[in-house]
Structure 1
Amino acid sequence: MVAQDTKSALLAEAEVLIRTQGYAAFSYADLSERVGIRKASIHHHFPTKELLGAALIDAYLERFELELKSLSEKRASAKSKLLSYSDFFSGGLRDGLMPLCGALAADAAQLPPSMQSRVKKFFNIHLDWLEEILEQGLESGEFRDNLKARRSATVLLSTLQGASLVAWALKDPSLIRPAAKQAIDSLAFPLD
């Protein structure tokens, strides 16, 4: 295997392990077995598990930010963008994977500080994007005018993270979109 291919394979398999078992539960021995290389070779690419985790989060954030940018640029209503955003959560579940940020947050106490700060950044990227889209929806009249964008962003992200955990436990990704739709619809009308 070429060095860059090995590094990419290590990151891909580490992501699967984190999203199925959690960061604290996997070891370089697990990764060695999955990629088919010796543990010493893993240490050549990533001397510590912390460096591996940090590189994984950084690469994931780069891809995720591009996906959010692409979704932002679509000619669609704010409600439609928010519903499409919810599909990010159900996509991985179809492959039996928990959302990465949820899996890492569940292990927050075991994460090294450099990874904890990256997880915080990850959640803030979600919240900032949601807030931006909600503000667009406020400007276009899609949402009720007393809506607090940041608070509503937190509610939507919490709803999706919670729905993801329930869907992952029940092995039913179809639970996420209806939960997202109900949360999004609640922003447009006063709650009784």
Structure 2
Amino acid sequence: MNNNKNTAEIILDTAQSIVQDAGFNGFSYAHIAEKVGIRTASIHYHFPNKEDLGEALIARYHRHFISAIAQIDTETQNNLEKLRKFTLLYGGPVQDFCTCLGVMLSTDLATLSGKTREGLVQLFTANLEWLERVLEQGRRVGHLNFKGAADVQAHQFLASLQGAQLLARSFRDLSRFNMIAEELISALT
């Protein structure tokens, strides 16, 4: 059983890497099998079809995100510092000129299963709710300064980071992501 879990995680790791580079429609089980060194039947054993794989990918990514923001909340009480750490979450995939799983899945939205689309909405909702809370708390205690509603600011912040990923990927230039992320933070002080 433990071996099955390890194989499933290796399949998910490989699929996530491929999706973040080529999109959900840019691969087949044969691509994963070749990279992992297993037969496609092994992948089908864990994920009977691609929809099952997509649902597992977004669910796992959402769990990792919840864990990451919980760690940010534990590490610091300063809301500006929380936002800096949040931008690092989005900066991670950019190092390989990829985007986060959510951005790439969004580009294939029309062909995703209903559960995968729902998982994507839940992921983005978790991002926005956390950002809104941090922004509102930060403004209340004087860590942050911005005009307008915190929920609008949260949407702008998230959309800017996602767009920054796409620009960095398109230009193959990490500095474009960093420039946008730094300006987002700077604009809130």
- The TM-score, its normalising length taken from structure 2, stands at 0.92
CA shift for structure 1 position 76: 4.2
Q: Which moved further from structure 2: 26-35 or 178-187?
A: 178-187
Letter in 1 for 2:6: D
Letter in 2 for 1:7: A
Q: Which moved further from structure 2: 75-84 or 163-172?
A: 75-84
Residue in 2 that maps onto 1:17: 18
Question: For structure 1, which runs of at least 5 residues remain unmatched after alignment?
Answer: none
* Distance in 2 separating the partners of 1:98 and 1:53: 16
Letter in 2 for 1:60: Y
* Distance in 1 separating the partners of 2:100 and 2:50: 20
Q: Which moved further from structure 2: 177-186 or 161-170?
A: 177-186
* Distance in 1 separating the partners of 2:62 and 2:115: 15
CA shift for structure 1 position 155: 0.3
Residue in 2 that maps onto 1:103: 104
Residue in 2 that maps onto 1:6: 7
CA shift for structure 1 position 136: 1.1
Matched length: 188
* Distance in 2 separating the partners of 1:5 and 1:165: 32
Whether the aligned pair in 2 keeps the contact of 1:86 and 1:176 (CA below 8 Å) is no
Letter in 1 for 2:85: S
Letter in 1 for 2:45: H
Residue in 2 that maps onto 1:90: 91
Closer/same/farther in 2, CA of residues 52 and 145 from structure 1, 3 Å limit: closer
* Distance in 1 separating the partners of 2:54 and 2:113: 9
Q: Which moved further from structure 2: 123-132 or 171-180?
A: 171-180
Closer/same/farther in 2, CA of residues 155 and 145 from structure 1, 3 Å limit: closer
CA shift for structure 1 position 147: 3.0
Residue in 1 that maps onto 2:150: 149
Q: Once the two structures are superposed, what CA deviation does each residue of 1:7-48 show, in whole Å capped at 9, x if it has no partner?
A: 111000000110000001111111111111111111111101
The secondary structure found in structure 1 opposite 2:24 is coil
Q: Once the two structures are superposed, what CA deviation does each residue of 1:76-131 show, in whole Å capped at 9, x if it has no partner?
A: 42112112211111112213332111111111111111100001111111101100
* Distance in 2 separating the partners of 1:187 and 1:151: 13
CA shift for structure 1 position 175: 2.3
Is 1:45 aligned with 2:46?
A: yes
Whether the aligned pair in 2 keeps the contact of 1:143 and 1:187 (CA below 8 Å) is yes
**Where do residues 170-181 of structure 1 align in structure 2 (5 Å cutoff)?**
170-181=171-182
The secondary structure found in structure 2 opposite 1:2 is helix
Whether the aligned pair in 1 keeps the contact of 2:146 and 2:188 (CA below 8 Å) is no
CA shift for structure 1 position 187: 3.5
* Distance in 1 separating the partners of 2:146 and 2:41: 58
Residue in 1 that maps onto 2:135: 134
The alignment yields a C-alpha RMSD, in angstroms, of: 1.7
* Distance in 2 separating the partners of 1:183 and 1:75: 19
Closer/same/farther in 2, CA of residues 61 and 41 from structure 1, 3 Å limit: same
Closer/same/farther in 2, CA of residues 145 and 12 from structure 1, 3 Å limit: closer
* Distance in 2 separating the partners of 1:51 and 1:137: 39
CA shift for structure 1 position 177: 2.9
